[in-house]
Amino acid sequence: MILDAKLLMSDAQSMIHTTAATYASSSVVDLGVASPNIGAGEPIFANCRVGTAFGGSASTTWSFKLQHSASESTGYTDLLTYSATTYTNLTAGKKIFNQSLPVTCSRYVKMLYTMAGSATSAGTVDAWLSLEHNDSSI
């Protein structure tokens, strides 16, 4: 499958951090119109996967959210979530989610990664939109 770079939110984005915080994906996807009506026709799938296995403190957890907004810079709300999990569950190639976008999706879409705990010493994440269910493009 060919992957359009404009549909990529995170490409091997490093999750190495020393401070508990929330980190946004390196890119925001612009679906082009205010109400894209995703439900009409072929579904669009949100994909998020661990690239390089996570490492760090055993007490550190990560949660993952796909968010959307009518504005590129503010007002994001959750579309899809993956509950907090320890780094031991975030092994290389692990699919965090592969789900179709809801019909009511807004124009701008991004990922949000939240770390709770002390530190992560290794790990990358890939996140993208595609027309393929169970897509493993990257």
pLDDT of the chain along its 138 residues, tens only? 566 788 999 999 999 998 889 999 999 999 988 877 665 678 889 999 999 999 988 889 999 999 999 999 999 999 999 988 988 899 999 999 899 888 888 999 999 999 998 889 999 999 999 988 776 655
Distance CA 98, CA 121 (A): 26
Q: Would you kindly state where each structural domain of the chain is located, as residue ranges?
A: 8-130
- What 119-122 contacts at long range (C-beta under 8 Å, 24+ apart), as own/partner pairs, is 119/17, 119/18, 119/56, 119/57, 119/60, 120/15, 120/16, 120/17, 120/54, 120/55, 120/56, 120/57, 120/60, 120/62, 120/87, 121/16, 121/55, 121/56, 122/16, 122/52, 122/53, 122/54, 122/55, 122/56
8-130: CATH architecture = Sandwich (2.60)
pTM greater than 0.75: yes
